[in-house]
Amino acid sequence: MREKLRIAVLASGNGTNLQALIDASQRGYFHGQIVLVVSNNKDAYALKRAENHNIDSVFINRNDYRTRDDFDRAIIKLLEGYRIDLVLLAGYMRVAGRDMVHTFYGRMMNIHPSLLPAFPGLEAQKQALDYGAKVSGCTVHFVDEGVDTGPIIVQRAVEVCEDDTVESLSDRILAEEHKIYPLAVRFYCEGKLKIEGRRVRVSG
Ligand code: GRF
């Protein structure tokens, strides 16, 4: 049997997506193993979740590096040291730099809480509410050099209700995020994804 893909998750916060990915991996939903969790925030609960599951976790401090490129190179080195096949950004509050994008292009995904290309960047759920959108959702995409602009892998729509607050909408979107991120990883592990320009073909 072929070996499981080696996965790293980069997270800055609570890490509920990380948790969904750990759970999916443990129940064999995809043929991959999360071997490393990296955070730029030493207080990220994501680090604690990794610890709870005996997954190596590393806090890497941006302030220890002079430039963003130096910081990125340190992360690349770390990921390469772990022979990582697939990098998952999950609530990682930094934009991946040029080197990182090039090193991992087609092997690095991100999850975003809107139906891209609508509402990229910060506070996507608030943006959707403020705009008056009737439908929002979430997107898993490959990472390119832009902010939330890479080729789209999976999306799921979530209706915006009349009485929604940022919190209630975020909660319902998050529940869908927890389903589509493992699904995107599953497609990847099964070799089903092919990037053709902006489009990602999902075979089978
Ligand atoms: C999610 O909404 C994700 O889409 C966004 O940041 C949030 C992270 O949540 N990029 P969590 O840390 O996975 O709970």
For ligand 1, is residue 91 a contact (CB within 6 Å)?
yes
Amino acid identity for residue 29 in this structure? Y
Domain boundaries, the chain: 5-202
CB atoms within 10 A of CB 177: 25
5-202: CATH, from 3.40.50.170, 3.90.1260.10, 3.40.30.10, 3.10.450.50 = 3.40.50.170
- Ligand 1: atom nearest CA of 18 is 13
For ligand 1, is residue 72 a contact (CB within 6 Å)?
no
Helix or strand holding residue 56 (H, E): strand 56-59
For ligand 1, is residue 20 a contact (CB within 6 Å)?
no
To the query of whether residue 112 is one of the catalytic residues in this protein, the response is: yes
Each residue's pLDDT expressed in tens, for the chain with a length of 204 residues: 789 999 999 999 999 999 999 999 999 999 999 999 999 999 999 999 999 999 999 999 999 999 999 999 999 999 999 999 999 999 999 888 999 999 999 999 999 999 999 999 999 999 999 999 999 999 999 999 999 999 999 999 999 999 999 999 999 999 999 999 999 999 999 999 999 999 999 998
Q: Which of 39, 34, 10 is nearest to 24 (CA)?
A: 34
Residue 91 Cα to ligand 1 middle (Å): 4
Question: How much is the CA Rg of the chain, to the nearest whole Å?
Answer: 16
User: Tokens for 46?
Assistant: 């994501």
Residue 90 and residue 15 in contact, taking contact as beta carbons nearer than 8 Å = yes
Distance CA 147, CA 150 (A): 8
Residue 30 Cα to ligand 1 middle (Å): 20
For ligand 1, is residue 88 a contact (CB within 6 Å)?
no
